[in-house]
Amino acid sequence: MDADIAVIGLGAMGSMTAWQLARAGASVLGFEQYGLGHDRGASAGESRLFRMAYHEGAAYVPMLRRARALWHELSDSSGLPLFRPTGCLSIGLPELPQMRRVRESVDEHGLDHEILDPDVLAARYPQHRVHDGEIGVLDAGGGVLRPELAVLAACAQAQRHGARLLPHTPVENVRFEDDRVRITAAGTEYTARTVIFTAGPWSRQLVPGLAPHLTLRPLVLTWFAPTGDPADWAPERFPAFIRDTDGVHLFGVPMMDGMSVKTGFADAFGDLSGTDAYTRDLDERRLRPIGEAVRRFLPGLHPDPVRYSVYMDAYTSDRTAVVDRVPGTDRALVLAGFSGHGFKLAPAFGRIAADLALRGGTDLDLGAMSAARFTAA
């Protein structure tokens, strides 16, 4: 047997899973079709938002707490600046469902936060042009993560604990036998007792039972240069944010590169239907709506992006991931469908995957993440 556990795909979820498995003493074999920390999947683009006051629901908060602790641990053990605490500002009308869920998160879990009424919000953060009645919820536990560095750090920690990671080694076939799993990758066969699929946007090929339930979406990140003093957009003055105004869902992070501010449409980048999800190209006319949103809501930025890139993620119909055993075998787990909001939780999912594989259970509530909700019908 080559390893106890094989991990297929070493993006955010796979690298964290390999780290957590290896530190728990398991023998781990990890496969990655590209180089470690590459930018072709869901876990690249310089920065990711970390939020505790969760638009998607207060039920995520215990998992977010676990993730935050592990982010700090990974930063400390790697010596890399993976998490920049900037706070995260949610902006919107208080009656919006997502703003209500933010308030529920802070109230139910006693999160450190500040509610900013419209006047305070406008005075403290003049970078945002706020509309009548909009409030801000400043989530003190929020911040900015560095995705490429994080994947590399988790891989390095996994290797330090003995994991064998194989970059540039695409898995071509996985076969289940009574006592083992046979994996063919780059023409060579490997064996393991258990396999964990963390293939992100490519999960449909590797776990065909989930294919009808995962949709691939290209997501575009755009960076805009300030027209005035760049210091106004530095992390000390401009927290990460997520904003919903007039049906426009915008998110952004402070200046991380000394010259531009990343902001983009939350969720998919408007309607990109007809675009090949695996593409990295984009018709530049598609950038106009985001430029228009920047002109309206962040008037201190030049509305033509100085750069942009296209990434992708796999979405489920309920925007909730699948973290479960693969139906039909007790030798496989799958983590997929993170629907544009999985990165911040990646170390917690890595811990969960390791617990499920090594102990058969986890102390965190996986709530609605079962595969059966899709595959049982």
16 near 347, Cβ under 8 Å? yes
Q: Which residue is at the shortest CB distance from ligand FAD?
A: 11
Q: How far apart are CA 300 and CA 298, in angstroms?
A: 6
Taking the complex as a whole, the smallest distance from the CB of residue 21 to ligand FAD amounts, in Å, to: 15
Of residues 9 and 136, the one with the C-beta less far from ligand FAD: 9
How far is it, in rounded angstroms, from Cα 18 to Cα 20? 6
In 105-238 the beta strands, taken as DSSP E runs, fall at 113-116, 135-139, 143-145, 164-166, 171-176, 181-185, 188-197, 215-224
Q: Which is nearer to ligand FAD, 53 or 206 (CB)?
A: 206
State which of positions 266-325 bind ligand FAD (CB under 6 A). Answer: 311-313
Binding mask 3-42 for ligand FAD (x = CB under 6 A): -----xxxxxxx----------------xxxx------xx
Closest contact distance (angstroms) between CB of 292 and ligand FAD is 20
Does position 197 interact with ligand FAD (CB under 6 A)? The reply is no
CB closer to ligand FAD, 163 vs 312: 312
Computed on alpha carbons and rounded to an integer, the radius of gyration of the chain in Å comes to 21
Which residue lies nearer to ligand FAD by CB, 141 or 340? 340
Nearer to ligand FAD, 221 or 301 (CB): 221
CA–CA gap between residue 178 and residue 276 (Å, rounded)? 39
Interface pattern 156-185 for ligand FAD (x via CB under 6 A): --------------xx--------------
Q: How far apart are CA 53 and CA 36, in angstroms?
A: 31
Query: Can you tell me which of 89, 199, 210, 268 binds ligand FAD, judged by CB under 6 A?
Result: 199
**Residue 266: phi, psi to the nearest 5?**
-65, 155
Closer residue to ligand FAD, CB minimum distance, 120 or 216: 216
Q: Which is nearer to ligand FAD, 43 or 86 (CB)?
A: 43
- List the one residue from 3, 7, 21, 49 that touches ligand FAD (CB under 6 A): 49
Helix, coil or strand: residue 199: coil
Contacts with ligand FAD in 207-246 (CB under 6 A)? 219, 221
Q: The dihedral of CA 42, 47, 51, 55: what is its sign?
A: negative
- Angle, helices 147-160 vs 12-23, to 10°: value is 30
Size of the site for ligand FAD (CB under 6 A): 36
Helix, strand, coil % (nearest 5) of the chain?
30, 30, 40
3-state DSSP assignment of residue 222: strand
The span of 110-118, 126-134, 193-201, 353-361 binding ligand FAD (CB under 6 A) equals 193-201
Residues 156 and 68: their CA atoms lie apart, in Å, by: 19
Residues that bind ligand FAD in the complex, under the rule CB under 6 A:
8-14, 31-34, 41-43, 45, 48-49, 170-171, 198-202, 206, 219, 221, 311-313, 338, 340-344
